[in-house]
Amino acid sequence: MDKPVIVTVDDDPGVSRAVARDLRRRYGQEYRIVRAETAHDGIEAVKEMRLRGDEVAAILADYRMPQMNGVQFLEAAMDMYPYARRVLLTAYADTDAAIQAINVVDLDHYLLKPWDPPDEKFYPVIDGQLDAWMRTDRTARPELRVVGDRWSARSYQVRDFLARNHVPYQWMLAEDPEGAQLVKAAGEGCHLPLVVTEDGTTLESPDHATLATAVGLSTTPATDFYDLIVVGGGPAGLGAAVYGASEGLKTVLVEAHASGGQAGQSSRIENYLGFPDGVSGQQLADRARRQALKFGAELLSARKVTHLEPRGQARVIGFKDGGEIAAHAVILATGVTYRRLEAPGLDEFVGRGVFYGAALTEAPACKDNEVYIVGAANSAGQAAVYLAGFASKVHLLVRSDGLEKSMSHYLIEQIHALGNIEVHLLTEVVAGAGDSHLERITLSTKGEERTVDAQYLFVFIGAEPYTSWLGETIERDAKGFVLTGPDLVQGGRRPRNWTLRREPYYLETNVPGVMAAGDVRAESIKRVASAVGEGAMAVALVHRYLEKQ
């Protein structure tokens, strides 16, 4: 670990050098000594150290400095390092000012100049201050810090991106003392959310690509040609990446947001084979991601694919931010997104009280609040059970007359067993309202409307496939789901150059060498296990396709 820092600031060059010299003689082995000859340089140095995450043990400042006096300097530094011990260097004539500073900036000590001999007048004071600093309870900080506003959609997006990509971070509000310190250190006009990396780099309201690069996620392909490109990092895509790489195919997986897809947002999956105690979607996705990397698959994060084009024997995909890569075969595993709730006033609060998906990063903020969940399938049930551990009450809003048709039995039992979950049948959200964030929603039950206070609304309704980027290249049904194998044949659209004579390629699209797996495929079973299985099966069909080339 880097040494803690002792900062000394004095505008008299001779005194400044003398202070630094004496400090190095006694403390240079255990502490790094940083000196500045102007208050401005001292503040800039402290800002840099704060952004880097350095620990400052003590700050020694001269009282009489032209830009700002020592008391003002220590007050400014205290905003960034509240635990640092503060020592004022002063002449005898300024003793009264030093005494007053004890109350103004919680001064820890003042030293009269000169302090010869230092063994008697200097080191005992500094020893005591450093000992006190060492005994102070200072909470360790994660490597990455995020500062933002509670009801900022962009702040939520940054936190959600980091959480779903398994990047540890510390979240703090801009108005909290520590958050305010970081904002102040970043400078005036700072645009939130502010992300501060381990090395002190500051990112103001970064997009996902910039954030991914800053935290060490891979965003640039290692080459321009692969055996297999997997588009989408949900269960189907991760399954395809694991099996493709493990079977020797040069495989790259491209994900626009975070590995895991919708399943990655599930708080707990209890019916997945091999996990009798259940597993969170994030844990399952992280294990699959690490497994794919172990076999040599390449994973690209925060890269959005915008088109797919056959070029001879190659299958080429292009990125939104420019560039393209090609492969012998492609597996489409882009999954689905939750359908937007069509109720007036809700769209403007997405990320500010209205959340599509589990939004696990918001769960702690729901403590002692009432939350509302829209949906009747397993994802809604899992979210209700999970949020019940934080919220004072969870309202599950169900449009139909029951849960049995769409939710697993084990989840229904759990919901009924929890006293703070109330199920509202035949109920819909018809409007939302608020100022800077969601504050109220209007519910309709059997035609009767009522308005309730609500700051948190989680929506799990329907599913829309992310396939519009495919254009006319890939055949899809009326809802946008990719048609494959028998569905193509039954629809009278048997593709030319059909690749298998005796039986259809059940997962192959109308373009030979392009497969579809998981939720994005028409008529697929919307389950994590079946998605993983289709990912593995698609790789087997890729092998058969390649053998015929």
pLDDT tens-digit series, residues 450-477: 999 999 999 999 778 989 999 999 999 9
Residue 142 confidence (pLDDT) above 80: no
**What 3-state DSSP class applies to 367?**
coil
- What confidence score (pLDDT) does residue 105 get? 60
> pLDDT category, 102, cuts 50, 70, 90?
low
- What confidence score (pLDDT) does residue 519 get? 93
Is the CB of residue 346 less than 8 Å from the CB of residue 372? no
Is the CB of residue 308 less than 8 Å from the CB of residue 493? no
pLDDT digits (tens, 9 = 90+) for 423-434: 999 999 999 999
β-strands 194-196, 145-148 pairing: antiparallel
Stretch (H or E) spanning 242: helix 235-246
pLDDT digits (tens, 9 = 90+) for 61-70: 998 888 788 8
pTM of the model: 0.73
DSSP at 486: H
Lowest mean pLDDT among 193-202, 256-265, 497-506: 497-506
| Section 282-307 average pLDDT | 92
- What confidence score (pLDDT) does residue 542 get? 94
Of all residues in the chain, the percent with pLDDT exceeding 70 is 93
- What confidence score (pLDDT) does residue 501 get? 41
- What confidence score (pLDDT) does residue 495 get? 52
> What tokens appear for 391 in the block?
């919220």
Q: Which amino acid is at 100?
A: Q
Which H, E and C letters describe 285-315, residue by residue?
Answer: HHHHHHHHHHCCCEEECCCCEEEEEEECCEE
> Residue 347, Cβ neighbours under 10 Å: how many?
12
Nearest to 323 by CA among 260, 252, 234: 252
pLDDT digits (tens, 9 = 90+) for 489-537: 655 555 555 444 444 468 999 999 999 999 999 988 888 899 999 999 9
What distance in Å separates the CA atoms of residue 27 and residue 457, rounded to the nearest whole number?
55
- What confidence score (pLDDT) does residue 127 get? 92
> pLDDT category, 409, cuts 50, 70, 90?
very high
* Block residue for tokens 């991106």: 161
- What confidence score (pLDDT) does residue 244 get? 97
Sign of the four-CA dihedral 137, 141, 147, 153: negative
- Cis check for the bond before 142: say yes or no (omega within 30 of 0): no
In degrees to the nearest 10, what's the CA dihedral of 308, 309, 315, 317? -40
Lowest mean pLDDT among 222-236, 406-420, 488-502: 488-502
- What confidence score (pLDDT) does residue 502 get? 40
pLDDT digits (tens, 9 = 90+) for 16-52: 899 999 999 999 999 999 999 999 999 999 999 998 8
In degrees to the nearest 10, what's the CA dihedral of 194, 155, 174, 217? -40
